Structures are given as structure tokens and as C-alpha cells.
Structure 1
Amino acid sequence: MAQVTKYALLKKEIHALSVTLDTLVSVADNDALMKGLLANVEPHISELKKIVENPTEYLFSAISNSFANALKDNFQISNLADLKNYRSAADDLAQFDFAQLGSVTLKKAALTVALNPDSFAEFRQFNTIVYLESPVYWKMAAALQSVRQDKRQLSMYGWQKINYLTGVPRYVYDLLDQLSHKRKISHPIGLDQDTINAAIGGEIKLSESGDFYFQEHGYADGVGLHSTALGITNLGLISLLLKRGVLGEGSCLFIDEPEAHLHPSWQKVMVEALFELSTKGVNIIIASHSIDMMKCIENIMEREQDNLDLDAHFGINQLSADGNSVNMSDNVFKRIAAIKEDLGQSFYEMFVDSAWLG
């Protein structure tokens, strides 16, 4: 009841403020300075009226706009229609259903976000979301920060209307920001980082000036990531994310092709580390084309099938070229077998060719 009374009072005060503004505008015809000041205030009063008159609709609209801009920034596109599969028709819908949370629908360049108001409490429970793509971005971290700083300076000098794409996804900058501050963790993840650091012969660190570097075991001086192997960066970042407290229970970690630049033995280290993170409450989502990684995942599942509900802990999905799920057997090991067969097809064909040549 107290909240309802406060809302009604706020709505009344905003209405009174709007009436006062209209009165001031009517008497300020001959005062150019006053008219200019009132013209600056009027849009803000109008926005406040929209908020108090229909807060839910205003919130959903703001979320839709924010989500649309985030998609453009993350995929570095000017038109949301570019997100659709190139084989789809212009009027085809792209829809993502998030169960009780709501849904997102894309038709041509129009994005609609439908959220369940009852799910706001669940949204608040979301922890850190991390997206790792190419380690090349981390070799260029200093240059990328410079690009962002240049854009901010243009805005400061009144170039706000020039809203250009930098070519760098937003999630890269988001993670740079997250790593720049070491977090306090209520429930730290007890992952043995020594296994990762032993595999790469050192660890990635962050200097006080904000520069990333690789500290090789047994050497006092660090080496800039631009002079470090990409595989070291790819694997070492997992250790750094844990050390800086970015990953915690409830976090979501997305990795596109984690096998990139990794020796097969390091791929095994990566998969084992990701599995251990998953048992600590981190949600892991990877997209891979590595038969070595799939075999390692299969070995882990065979090893843990008496300790885990495999169907609940692992989600194995094979996609066709047009993005549809294929070979969706009820048996998870059959799904893995189908994926390994697909990934090993080219090797098999080359083996047959060599046999004929022999």
C-alpha cells in the first residue's frame, strides 16, 4: 500500500511540474534565454510523464532499444536484418524463446522483445556473462582501448551524432572493463589454475597500468601478449578470469572455437578446465569443430556417467549448414558419435585417397 501511495504522489508531482512548465513557456515569449532553458527541460519532463503514466510499457521499450543497440554493437552491423541467415526470405521471422523469461523476435529490421514481468527477479539473479572469441583481440588490447578513447573524445567535442561502428564488438570492451578491476568474491571457485599455468609454462597477468602480459615461469620479466603465442593467450585467459574474480558461481562463459591455436594436448587441458568450471556452477557454452575436443568430452562423460546426470549436465547439439539441429538421438553418446563421424569425414577421405595412390 505504501508503494502505491508513493507512486500516486509521484505521478501527481510530475503532472504539476508539467503544468508549471507550460505556464512558464507561455510567459517567456519575449525572453530568449528563458525559452532556451525551458526547451532543454521540456524533453526530460515529457520522459518523466511517460515513465509514471505507463512504467511497464516504458521499461519494455527501453529494454528493446537497448537490446537492439547491443546486437548492433556486438555483431558490428548497421541493420539488424543482417543477423538473419542469408538463405532466409525477407519476411521470415527469427525468434528466440527464453521460456519463462520471455522471447525476442526479429522481422526484417524490426526487433520486438516480449518479457514476462514476473521474471524480473530472475533477471536480477544473472551473474557475469563472458564471451571469448579470437585471442587476437587480446594481442591488440592497447590499440583497441585507444580506438575507444578516440571515440569518447569525439563525443566530448560535440560529435555525438556521429555514431559509427568501430569494428570491435562490444563484448570485447565489456570484458576488458571487467578484468580491469579485481573483484571481491563471496564464493570463490576452487579451480586448480596450476594445471593451466603448467601447460602454458606461465600465466597471463595485468600490470598496474592496465597492460596484459605473459609471465613465463622462471623469468623475472614479462612479455607483451603481442609477442606471445595465440594458444598461450587462449588458454591463459581462463586462468586470468578466475584470478580476477570475473567468473563465479552462476556466471555464463561463451567460447567460440576454444580449440583455435591450441595444440591437441592443450585442447585436452582446456576441456578438462571447462568441465571442472561447470561442476563449480559456471554455465559453459562452446562451439567447436575439433574432433579432439569432442573425444575429450566423450571420455569425460564416460568417466563421470556414474557421478552425474549426463543429460542434465551436458547439452550436445550438432548443427547443419543452415543452422538446424541434426542427429538428435536420445542417446548422448550416439550424438557425439555422429559429430565425430562428421568431423572426421575429410580425414577419412584423405586416407582413402592416399591408399589408392599407394
Structure 2
Amino acid sequence: MELQLKNIGMIKEANIKLDGLTVIAGENDTGKSTVGKFLYFTLCHDLKTKKDIDTLFESIFKTNIAKYNTPPSSVENNNKDFKLQPIFIETPLVWNFTDFFRDIALVESQMNIEIDYPYLMKDLNFKLFIKNASNGVDIKEKMTSLMDGKFEKDEKGSYFFNRNGKRIELVNTATGIKYFGIFQVLSQNNYLNKNTVLVLDEPEVHLHPKWQLEMAKIIVELVKNGVKVLVNSHSPYMIEALQRYSELAEINSDFYLAEDGYIKKENNSNSETLAKIFEKLSEPFDVFEEMDSQKMKKLING
């Protein structure tokens, strides 16, 4: 599967292959998130009318699709037999609003209206509460072991974190745990399967470097079992972990650098692209080295 974008937001051009693990690396405000959102938008199959399309587009991008004179993106899916289902994880803080989303859904169904609130969070919340009929990749036990606990529902349908029999409310649960909890519940609800396209937008933001490595392991495990995963990242730890674990697992992987309006692979080579990625993301460390050098000169010169 391939995604092509031109002149969308800050993206001048992007040609991205989605066949296993796809990683887009770059600094903030380089268009990484835009790619993931367009992928999600183009894979939404339940849009029946132009109004549905316009509403979803505006909810995701905060702008009107009418401003574009040509189709803003295209997706080529080589496997037409499967109906790909996108999942976009933007923040684990979705757990803080699960009861709110549930109340909104109740109001919508009772009054036959649709309340405008972020669609990406609405869709993810739905998948955390409603079980999918098809089978999925089972990573529940791995997540439970990693978190030293698990996410459960009480008799009212509200989620909480259970650690050794002790109930911990989600507002008091660490943000990193919440991220892993999303994976646990999506797995037990059968949403992680060969038809899934999972978009993770900078997952490292909420994770300690050690947990970033654990997250990379889980991502590679999902890809190994048929889930297509797109990761946007600016963390050298996450990117290198994904590189190393994907090589060990011998899965398909593609790395891209987002820079100056373009998202591309250097000479169609992962190794050349990764070298440029690490060079770009190591610039803050170069500043520290320069500071150390200046400090040493002061000590020497008195």
C-alpha cells in the first residue's frame, strides 16, 4: 500500500510505502502528523455522503476540504480483498474522558443528534468499549506483565487500573501506563488484526526511554502478526529501537525523514535515511558538546 500527498499544509510532497512497519522521523512541525491523519481519513469506509466526508475532514484538520482544488491525497491498496480499518492514537489521555464520551454517545442516541467533538478520540473511545467480531493479535498478557496490572471495567462500565487487586482510578494512573492500556484493551476487543492500520503519533512523548524500547518491541510484534503500523517520531531512542527490533524480527520496514516540506527516503535506502535521521536528531547533543568545549577552554585559560 502506498500513500501520496502533495501540497497539504506544510507538506510539499510525500510518497510513503505502508507494508509492515513505516516510521516517519523528524523535528516538530515537519508534517509527520499530517501524514497519519490523511491516511486515517482516506481509509474511513463508513463515509456515505459528502457531508460525512466534509465533517470528518474538518474535525481532523480544522479546515474545509473545499479549499483544495485537486484530491489532496491518494492511497493505493494492492490487497483489495481486505477492508483496511484505521486506528489513530494521538494521546493516551483519551482515558480521562471515557465517561464523558459514553455520556455523549447516550445523548446522541436518545435525541437522534450528532454532537461535534474530536472524531479521532471519539473513534478510539468507541473501540475501547465495543468488542470487534473478528479475531485479533493477542498481546494482552504481555501488556499486563509490562504494566504490572491491567485495565478492567466495573459494574457501571467504567474503566480502572487493577494492580494486585487494588483499584486505581485512571486519573491517578501514570500516562505511560495509559498508553500501554490502550494496546491491552484494543487487543482484547480484537481491533488489532491483519486488516488494521495503526497510526501512532509520537508515542514516545509519554514514555521513559526504557519504556520506549518496550513499546518498540510491542509494535514489531504487531507487525509480525500482520498489523500495518505507521509511527511518527522525533525520539532517537524509539527510532533506533524500531530499527533494531524490526531487523531482528525480519519484518518489512521503511524509514522516512520529514524535512523542509518533503517526506522521503534517501536513495530508497533505510540505512542512508537512518544515518540522516540520527544526524538531524542529534543536533541538540552537538550543542551540549560545544558547551562542554567552551567550559573546558575556560578552565584551561583560567
Q: TM-score, normalised by structure 2?
A: 0.72
Per-residue deviation, residues 190-234 of structure 1 (Å, max 9, x unmatched): 44x433322222122233422121111x2x232121110111001
Question: What does residue 70 of structure 1 align with?
Answer: 56
| 3-state SS of paired residue (2:203) | coil
Alignment partner of 1:140: what SS? helix
For 1:135 and 1:252, locate their aligned partners in 2 and report how far apart those are by CA, in whole Å. 18
Counterpart residue number, 2:277: 339
Gaps of 5+ in 2: 1-46, 297-302
Say which structure, 1 or 2, has more relative contact order (CA 8 Å, 6+ apart): 2
1:238-257 alignment, distance < 5 Å:
238-257=183-202
* Aligned mates of 1:262, 1:331 — CA distance in 2: 29
Q: Which amino acid aligns with 1:134?
A: T
Pick closer, same or farther for the CA change 1:70–1:208 going to 2, 3 Å. farther
Match runs of 1:74-153 below 5 Å: 74-75=60-61, 77=62, 79-80=64-65, 93=70, 95-99=72-76, 122=80, 125-150=82-107
Deviations 1:164-209 (A, max 9, x none): 633xx212222222232333444x4244x43332222212223342
Describe the shift of the 1:129–1:210 C-alpha distance in structure 2 as closer, same or farther (beyond 3 A).
farther
**1:93/1:127 Cα in 2 relative to 1: closer, same or farther (>3 Å)?**
closer
Q: Which has the larger radius of gyration?
A: 1
The answer to whether the 8 A contact 2:85-2:196 is kept is yes
Match of 2:126 in 1: 177
Say whether residues 1:349 and 2:270 are aligned partners. no
Taking only aligned residues, the RMSD between alpha carbons, in angstroms, comes to 2.8
> Residues 195 and 91 from structure 1, CA distance in 2 versus in 1: closer, same or farther, beyond 3 angstroms?
closer
The offset of 1:326, in angstroms, is 4.4
CA shift in 2, pair 1:209/1:246, >3 Å: farther
How far apart are the structure 1 equivalents of 2:242 and 2:77?
30
Kept after mapping to 1: 8 A contact 2:104/2:115: no
Question: Which is richer in strand?
Answer: 2
Counterpart amino acid of residue 165 in structure 1: D
Matches within 5 A, 1:1-358: 62-75=48-61, 77=62, 79-80=64-65, 93=70, 95-99=72-76, 122=80, 125-150=82-107, 155=111, 165-166=116-117, 169-186=118-135, 188-191=136-139, 193-216=140-163, 218=164, 220-304=165-249, 307-308=250-251, 313-322=252-261, 324-326=262-264, 328-358=266-296
Letter of the 2:152 counterpart: K
Post-superposition offset of 1:147: 4.3
Residues 205 and 214, structure 1, Cα contact 8 Å, conserved in 2? yes
Q: Distance in 2 between matches of 1:259 and 1:325?
A: 20
The 1:134/1:209 distance shift into structure 2, 3 A limit, reads: same
**Which runs of 5 or more structure 1 residues have no equivalent in the other structure?**
1-60, 82-89, 102-118
Instruction: Go from structure 1 to structure 2 and tell me whether the alpha carbon gap of 1:66 and 1:266 turns closer, same or farther (over 3 Å shift).
Output: same
Give the Å deviation of 1:91. 7.1
Aligned residue pair count:
250
Query: In 2, are the aligned partners of 1:252 and 1:283 still within 8 Å (CA)?
Result: yes
Q: Is the 8 A contact 1:199 1:266 kept in 2?
A: no
Summarize deviations over 1:14-72 as a string: whole Å, max 9, x none.
xxxxxxxxxxxxxxxxxxxxxxxxxxxxxxxxxxxxxxxxxxxxxxx954442222212
Between Structure 1 and Structure 2, which shows a larger proportion of helix residues?
A: 1
Q: How far off is 1:297 after superposition?
A: 1.6
Partners in 1 of 2:84 and 2:156 — Cα distance?
Answer: 27
TM-score w.r.t. length of structure 1: 0.62
Q: How far 1:292 moved relative to its partner?
A: 0.2
Change in 2 beyond 3 A, CA 1:290/1:228 = same
Q: Structure 2 vs 1, CA of residues 93 and 184 (structure 1 numbering), >3 Å: closer, same or farther? A: closer
